[in-house]
Amino acid sequence: MLFATTRSDSLKNVSVTVRIPTTLRPLSGGASSVTVAGANLREVLKALDAAHPGFAAKLLDQDGNLHKFVNVFVADDDVRYLKGLDTPVLGGQTVSIVPAVAGGQVVSIVPAVAGGQQISNVPVAGGR
């Protein structure tokens, strides 16, 4: 079971907005944000997955922990530095899901020249 019951189940669930990244919007029917209820992040993600199936598989590993390549913020604070999935949420707060970004273009550094003298190094996308 990906979502274990916690002590906070007895706390009042509050309504929060969850910001959905572009890559996960097909799961939310294209919505950039959805509103769900929960007393902590675990309950919010459980409600999100109940309303829009597939989020748990994308956000959590088989042990029910956040995937390492997914960053989640509650009110702009990274939950990895708070209480993780047990981070409390307050009514009206925003939960942001931010997938990690890796890779990219090859960038070469080429000298910038003015008046025959090198003045700086400039990154150039695509390599050279």
pLDDT, tens only, 52-62: 999 999 999 99
Indicate whether 25 pLDDT > 70: yes
Indicate whether 112 pLDDT > 80: no
Distance CA(94)–CA(17), nearest Å, equals 5
Model confidence, pTM: 0.71
- Residue 112 within any structural domain of the chain: no
- Residue 41 within any structural domain of the chain: yes
59 vs 121 pLDDT, higher one: 59
- Residue 58 within any structural domain of the chain: yes
- Residue 11 within any structural domain of the chain: yes
Question: Range of 23's domain?
Answer: 7-99
Q: What pLDDT band is residue 100 in, cutting at 50, 70 and 90?
A: confident
- Residue 121 within any structural domain of the chain: no
Total of domains in the chain: 1
- Residue 73 within any structural domain of the chain: yes
- Token pair belonging to 114: 């003015």
- Residue 116 within any structural domain of the chain: no
CATH of residue 23's domain is 3.10.20.30
| pLDDT at res. 10 | 41
Q: State phi, psi for 21 to the nearest 5 degrees.
A: -70, 155
In eight-state DSSP terms, residue 66 is B
Determine how many CB atoms are found less than 10 A away from the CB of residue 42: 25
Residues 6+ away with beta carbon under 8 Å from 27: 20, 52, 53, 54, 55, 58
Are 85 and 42 in contact by the 8 Å Cβ rule? The answer is: yes
Cα–Cα nearest to 8, from 49, 48, 37, 50 = 37
Element (H, E) at 114: strand 107-114
- Residue 127 within any structural domain of the chain: no
- For residue range 57-99, list pLDDT tens digits in order: 999 999 999 998 899 999 999 999 999 999 999 999 999 999 8
Q: What pLDDT band is residue 126 in, cutting at 50, 70 and 90?
A: low
| pLDDT at res. 106 | 53
Q: What pLDDT band is residue 121 in, cutting at 50, 70 and 90?
A: low
